[in-house]
Amino acid sequence: MKGRRFPKAVVAAIHEGKILGIRAGAGPHRVIGIWAVVVEGRVFVRSWSLKPRSWWRTFLEDPRGIIEVGGRTIPVRSVQTRSLRLKDAVDRAYVKKFHTPGSLKFARDLGRKKSRETTTELVPG
């Protein structure tokens, strides 16, 4: 499944699902659940906490990892997003997808500078 795009069914499952299972790096890390959005058929994630041992910091050191989607484990690579146009689209996608009263505050927080800087695209690895 190497290439720049996931199969349409995987992208659809990520778009429809609320939580994406992810493990950053090749080490023995556990799989955690994070929010992911789809923009232009591409998968993006952002870090909310930025803790020293966060998945995002692990990806900076080792871009390999896995995601769990629809009962499948899929190898991924992380690519840091520089495009302001894409970051703006990801901001909008988080607020649109996570719009319930309990989620909206966090979705908006993911659009603030600290989290925007962590915008990461996941590609098949």
Residue 29: what pLDDT?
A: 81
Residue 27: what pLDDT?
A: 82
Q: Which two tokens stand for residue 14?
A: 């990520």
Stated pTM of the model: 0.94
Residue 25: what pLDDT?
A: 93
Residue 30 DSSP class: P
Q: Which two tokens stand for residue 33?
A: 């659940």
User: How far is Cα 44 from Cα 58, in angstroms, rounded to an integer?
Assistant: 16
- Give the Cβ contact number of residue 113 at 10 Å: 6
Is residue 18's pLDDT more than 60? yes
The CATH classification number of 8-124 equals 2.30.110.10
- For 30-60, the pLDDT digits (tens) are 899 999 999 999 999 999 888 888 999 999 9
Residue 29 DSSP class: P
Residue 98 DSSP class: S
- Average pLDDT of 56-72? 95
Residue 3: what pLDDT?
A: 57
The band of 1, judged by pLDDT with boundaries at 50, 70 and 90, is: very low
| Contact present, 94 and 35 (Cβ < 8 Å) | yes
Identify which of 7, 14, 23 has the alpha carbon closest to the alpha carbon of residue 70.
14
Instruction: Break the chain into its structural domains and give their ranges.
Output: 8-124
